Amino acid sequence: MNGRFFFLLLAGLSGSLMAIQGTLNSVLGKVIGLLESTFVVHVVGSLTAGALLLVLGNGSFSKAGQAPWFAWLGGPIGVAIIFGVALSIPKLGVGTATTSIIAAQLFSAYLIDHLGWFGMAKIPFTFVKIGGIVLIIIGAKLLLDK
């Protein structure tokens, strides 16, 4: 298996886990409250990351000050994501919410790629990619029609 295929599978697995996580977070939110579940998810996630760090970590916290200011926004953005997904899934359903999430992710991702934001390498936006996005929009419309 070549490296690119492995990372495509990994990205696909991550996407599946996002739909499962959003569903589980919304279930927990119904039981204990939305902000409470967002907090619990982050505490449990931090404990999990801490355990992985102890076993697999090979970086250095001493370099944390070298990160650009915007790199620190991942935490607050993560809270907003978990809150927003957990709030929208019970109102829209998992499929509709995930369709909206994917559409917005694609738009944002290609904008970041094209403009090279946040230190990412610039990857030009091509007509082929525009065609792919149009097909995804058509697919999303078909999925969202009742």
Q: What's the pLDDT tens digit per position in 91-107?
A: 988 888 888 888 889 88
DSSP 102: H
pLDDT, the chain, mean: 91
What is this structure's pTM? 0.81
Residue spans per domain, the chain: 3-144
User: For the segment 109-130, what is each residue's pLDDT rounded down to a tens digit?
Assistant: 989 999 999 999 999 988 898 8
Residue 1 confidence (pLDDT): 62
Token pair 């696909």 in the structure block, residue: 12
Phi-psi region at 142: left, alpha or beta (left = phi > 0; alpha = psi -120 to 50): alpha
